[in-house]
Amino acid sequence: MRPEEIKLILASGSPRRTELLHTAGLPHEVIVSGADENVGLHEPRTLVEKLSARKAQDVYDRVMAEQENDDADFAVIGADTVVALDGVILGKPQDEEDAAHMLRMLSGRSHHVYTGVTLHGMQGGRESVRTFSEESTVYVAGLSEAEITSYLRTGEPMDKAGAYGIQGAFCKFVTRIEGDYFNIVGLPVGRVYRELKSFCNDPA
């Protein structure tokens, strides 16, 4: 079975992740996870992997409870992204003041973006779970207060980890990246596709 043929379920309401899957030619449905995201303090990579697994597990359990044919193949994609600067995790801002504070922290610095992904589903009548993560580095130019204020007015920062979206107006402040661009957007879709190929052909 090819990744394009298995029933895919994205456990996230992120329009960016949905768009990336569509662009990659991976049809899917969306079931937003209701999992508790309080997993305690962890280093960034461990945190995103744990959260992605928890989100995927929540949706997997719901699908299995509703599915009439327990042998039907499917895969749930759970994902979580965080921004980390000097080991400090920057999640989604609470308000504009918080967003402005984050942007000042990122100004003129490099930071890391981590996305954890879990594939949790059924393949060949067997439950299969795979969790992995990717790390990218983003270099940001120095930001003036006027630039920060102008960016806040776009509304982009409020629903994004680290208070910015690289695919939006913030792109003009990025001087360089290292690693997977799509990981920074919210889903390392190339890695997801490769893992899905393995999932479909060699369930573990």
The catalytic residue positions are 80
Closest CA to 170 of 111, 89, 94: 111
- Give the tokens for residue 83: 């921004």
* Residue corresponding to tokens 């359990």: 61
CA angle, residues 150, 104, 98, in degrees to nearest 5: 80
- How buried is 89 (Cβ within 10 angstroms: 0-12 exposed, 13-18 middle, 19+ buried)? middle
Q: How far apart are CA 23 and CA 185, in angstroms?
A: 13
Phi then psi for residue 55, to 5 deg, are -65, -45
Phi then psi for residue 189, to 5 deg, are -65, -30
